[in-house]
A and B are shown apart, each in its own frame.
Chain A
Amino acid sequence: MGETPKPNRTRTLRVGNLARVEGEGALYVRVKGRQVEEVRLEIFEPPRFFEAFLRGRSFTEVPDITARICGICPVAYQMSSCQALEAALGVQVEGPLKALRRLLYCGEWIESHTLHIYFLHLPDFLGYPDAVRLAQDQPQRVQEALALKKTGSELMTLLGGREIHPINVKVGGFYRVPRKAELLALRDRLERAREIAQRTVRFVGSLDFPDFAPDYTFVSLRQEGEYPILGGRLVSNRGLDIAVAEFEQYFHEEHVAHSNALHATLKGQPYLVGPLARYNLNHDQLPASVQAVAREAGLGSVCRNPFQSIVVRAVETLYACEEALHLIDAYEEPDPPSVPVTPRAGAGAGCSEAPRGILYHRYRMDEQGLIAEAKIVPPTSQNQKMIEEDLRQFVAANLELSRPELTLRCEQTIRNYDPCISCATHFLRLDIEHEP
């Protein structure tokens, strides 16, 4: 049943609890006539104060603690922490240790992207409440998704000890490195994962996407010679090109009343981080084979439709499988498992590509290596303003949609970002109130 918007009539959309997102959030939209008057993505995930209680902890404890910010992307937190602390300590982790970090991160990309594609986002496109209901109609598809996800988890478990809050990551490298034979044992499963990932790209590429393509400012890491995961320079499609250490001169966080997550802006403007940004700024770094699969699925070298982020995520999952195979084949066992670190006073910044986008950390520590100041800027807080902006534009362009349809599309718009509200959300209950 369609609703024709009447001039001067106010419609309010309210979604009390977002579903199939990570963490807790809600949505409020107020429309008057054809004018979207207010959009608020409300994050009521209770504050957990990590930046405060990291003060006084030893740098050696930081990667274990920051992992606890998010159970969905703990590796990202561990990697950005380690890189920031290593910068402060003047050590560099290179060679096979760096390759192992990338391999562990590939595991997280596979696991997290697959979870988002099949469990959080796909049900919207197919009209299911969840993947379990989907599995009743399409068992093979869901079983393959679980196998793909499991391969990511296995990689994380081998390298990290377990997939949630890995215990094997430390400043300087690892506590124990795997034997080549242990990695080779995962090869067959990764080959199968790669096939499933390829089928996933083709399948999600065939979904119906609303016609929507805002003119975003994309921000991601970029480094010649590889698709960004661990580091590089911060770049945008509008000419930004800075070192990670310069982040805070360009990016600012503000605190708004309706959200417990801070809003970040780039020189006062909203910007987008995550798979879409990475893909658009680094398409040329993807192997030709992955580019070809992306092209077949209808993706050009630039994709501005956020609803197609599901396709980009699938492409990145495929990439992570290929990269993992490549890293395993090239692996040579390092000795020792970490580079030595000696505490000293200093400050350092680090940034890596969490599945949801860039994750920035900065620490200052004293001569004993105790943290004096910590700053953490997660992807969700960087995207929050952009999500609100998308909702504003999407609602304005689709006012003729029926209430259930508009609600679903709003939820989907939020899920495009895979926002992880633990870091900085779930079920969307939508009420539209009419004012006479």
Chain B
Amino acid sequence: MPRKQRKPTLAVWKFASCDGCQLSLLDCEDELLAVAGAVQIAHFLEASSTVMPGPYDLSLVEGSITTPHDALRIQAIRKNSRFLVTIGACATAGGIQALRNFADVEEFTRIVYARPEYIQTLKHSTPISAHVPVDFELRGCPISKGQLLEVISAFLHRRKPNIPQHSVCLECKARGTVCVMVAQGIPCLGPVTQAGCGAICPAYQRGCYGCFGPQENPNTVALSAWWTQLGVDEAAQQRAFRTYNAGARAFSKEAERHG
């Protein structure tokens, strides 16, 4: 009897996050059933009650590590996964919850919770790569659906995903958007932010706020000088680099310069 070829298994895992990145998969309305046909969904709690034991061929990990329990959980997932891909700013840079890294978590807990003693949390929100080896990091808060599909298909076909590392500026050019910073003096993080979104913000008449994190070798110092000329004060510049990718090195370093 000929052996039936086994479909590769896909698992989706969640850590501290807003669920937005894994939702991006369910938001691929036109491709969802095709993806579901090409893989065996083995663990995807947001979408299915089916839970299959590992090992998994491809694990997509959303969210950052913020609790002692999660720091252990990610180890187990890594051991059980052939390929592990992190999706989104939370998983690749600690996410918005990494803003705690620059503050006193105990004070944060007191501000939010009446009984801080019930809360178990780590002082820092860290990306997955700080805990286990990661095979690929997909940027964005949220990730782009097109890039997600590219990554899934690349891993299924054992090839490298084609994800550009240049800046948002090139996407603006490709889209034909007039530069909002040059033409209108609107502060924009596009020149230091990695492409992937399709340069949405400038097309909507606003500056990029860096949700895809730093591009390869960004010149953040030159950009800050430009922002200063546009009248943006130091505190606002620090905040701009300390948002959804506050934990990404190039951004955290630049934020420190504006202390």
Task: Write the residues of chain A forming the contact surface with B, with a CB cutoff of 8 angstroms.
Answer: 17-24, 45-53, 55, 57-58, 61, 64-65, 68-72, 74, 115, 119, 123, 129-133, 135, 139, 142-143, 146-147, 149-150, 153, 161-165, 167-168, 170, 175-176, 253-257, 260, 262, 337, 411, 420, 422, 426-429
The answer to whether A165 touches B114, judged by C-beta atoms less than 8 angstroms apart, is no
In the bound assembly, the distance between CA atoms of A45 and B70 in angstroms comes to 10
The 7 lowest CB-CB distance pairs between A and B, nearest first, are A71-B20, A426-B45, A130-B48, A52-B108, A150-B29, A53-B99, A255-B114
Residues of B within 8 A of A170 (CB): 206
Q: Which of B128-136, B152-160, B197-205 contacts A (4 or more CB under 8 A)?
A: B197-205
Q: How far is the CA of A49 from the CA of B99 in the complex (A)?
A: 9
B183 at the binding interface (Cβ < 8 Å): no
B49 touches A131 (CB 8 A): no
B243: Cβ under 8 A from any A Cβ: yes
Distance in Å from the Cβ of B185 to the closest Cβ of chain A? 15
**Is the Cβ of A49 less than 8 Å from the Cβ of B20?**
no
Indicate whether B214 reaches chain A with its CB closer than 8 angstroms: no
Q: What are 25 sample pairs from A and B whose C-beta atoms fall under 8 A apart? A: A18-B45, A45-B16, A47-B112, A47-B113, A47-B121, A48-B16, A49-B108, A49-B111, A51-B112, A52-B100, A52-B111, A53-B103, A61-B243, A65-B96, A68-B18, A71-B20, A115-B26, A131-B47, A146-B29, A146-B30, A147-B29, A164-B27, A167-B206, A255-B113, A420-B19
Would you give the 0/1 interface string for B75-116, flagging 1 where the beta carbon is closer than 8 Å to chain A?
A: 000000000000000000001110110010101110111110
B205 touches A422 (CB 8 A): no
Q: Is the CB of B141 within 8 A of A129?
A: no
Contacts of B111 in A (CB 8 A): 49, 51-52, 55
Say if the beta carbon of B236 comes within 8 Å of chain A. yes
Whole-angstrom CA separation of A428 from B49 in the bound complex: 8
- Complex: chain A residue closest to B108, CB-CB: A52
Cα(A163)–Cα(B25), bound, Å: 12
Interface size range of chain B in the complex: 35 or more
Pair B16/A46 contact, Cβ less than 8 Å = yes
Once bound together, how far apart are the Cα atoms of A161 and B16, in whole Å?
25
Residue in B19, B27, B239 whose CB lies within 8 Å of A61: B239
Query: Are B201 and A49 touching (Cβ within 8 A)?
Result: no
> A49-B97, A135-B33, A175-B204 given as contacts; is B243 within 8 A of A426 (CB)?
no
Is there contact, CB below 8 Å, between A427 and B51?
Answer: yes
Within the complex, what minimum Cβ distance (angstroms) separates A261 from chain B?
A: 10
Are B48 and A422 in contact, CB atoms less than 8 angstroms apart?
A: no
Q: Is the CB of B200 within 8 A of A162?
A: yes
A255 cross-chain contacts in B, Cβ below 8 A = 113-115, 118
Decide: B49 and A129 in contact? CB cutoff 8 A: yes
In the bound complex, residues from chain A placing their C-beta under 8 Å from that of B17 are: 71, 422
Whether B72 is near chain A, meaning CB under 8 Å from some CB there, is no
- How far, in whole Å, are A142 and B114 apart by their CA atoms in the complex? 44
Alpha-carbon gap, A171 to B107, bound state (A): 29
Contact with B118, one of A57, A143, A257, A429 (Cβ below 8 angstroms): A257
Q: How far is the CA of A282 from the CA of B197 in the complex (A)?
A: 39
**Quick one: which of B18, B49, B115 contacts A427, CB cutoff 8 A?**
B49
Nearest CB of B to A108, in Å: 12
B49 contacts A123, C-beta separation under 8 Å: yes
Q: Report yes or no: A132 in contact with B33, Cβ–Cβ below 8 A.
A: yes
Chain A residue contacts of B41, Cβ below 8 A: 130, 132
CB pair B50–A129 under 8 Å, yes or no, is: yes
Our pick among B32, B70, B100, B211 for the contact of A49 (Cβ within 8 Å) is: B100
Minimum CB distance partner of A51 in chain B: B112
Question: In the assembled complex, which residues on chain A have CB atoms less than 8 Å from the CB atom of B115?
Answer: 255, 257
Q: Which of A119, A162, A175 has the most CB of B within 10 A?
A: A162
Asked if B30 and A150 sit within 8 Å, CB to CB, the answer is yes
Residue of A164, A257, A260 with highest tally of chain B CB at under 10 A? A164
> Are the C-beta atoms of A176 and B16 separated by less than 8 Å?
no
In Å, the complex CA distance between A17 and B73 comes to 14
**A46 touching B45 by the CB < 8 A rule?**
no
Of B26, B27, B70, B243, most A-chain CB atoms within 10 Å: B27
Q: Are A135 and B36 in contact (CB under 8 A)?
A: yes
Q: How many whole Å from A189's CB to the nearest CB in chain B?
A: 12
Residue of B nearest to A53 (CB): B99
Task: Decide yes or no: A19 and B206 within 8 Å by CB, A162-B197, A164-B20 being known contacts.
Answer: no
Q: Are A164 and B239 in contact (CB under 8 A)?
A: no
Docked pose: A209 CA to B149 CA in angstroms = 38
Which single member of A18, A58, A70, A429 contacts B18 (CB below 8 Å)?
Answer: A70
Known: A23-B19, A24-B14, A119-B26. A146 touches B103 (CB 8 A): no
Give the chain A neighbours of B226 by CB distance below 8 A: none
Determine the distance from Cα of A57 to Cα of B97 in the docked complex, in whole angstroms.
14
B66 interface residue (CB < 8 Å to A): yes
Q: Give CA–CA (A55, B112) in the complex, Å.
A: 12
CA distance A49 to B107 in the complex (A): 10
Bound-state CA distance A348–B100 (Å) is 26
| Alpha-carbon distance A19/B21, docked complex (angstroms) | 17
User: A49-B112, A53-B103, A176-B204 are known contacts. Are A20 and B23 too (CB-CB below 8 A)?
Assistant: no
Please, how many angstroms separate the alpha-carbon atoms of A45 and B15 in the complex? 8
Inter-chain contact B239/A48, CB cutoff 8 Å: no
| A24 vs B12: C-alpha distance when bound (angstroms) | 13
Query: Which residues of chain B are within 8 angstroms of A22 by Cβ–Cβ distance?
Result: 19, 46
B201-220 interface code vs A (CB 8 A; 1 in, 0 out): 10111100101000000000
Task: Tell me if A64 and B209 are in contact (CB < 8 A).
Answer: yes
Known: A115-B26, A119-B26, A168-B204. 17 other contacts (CB 8 A): A17-B45, A46-B66, A49-B100, A51-B112, A55-B111, A70-B18, A70-B20, A71-B23, A139-B33, A142-B33, A146-B32, A164-B20, A168-B206, A175-B205, A176-B204, A426-B14, A427-B45
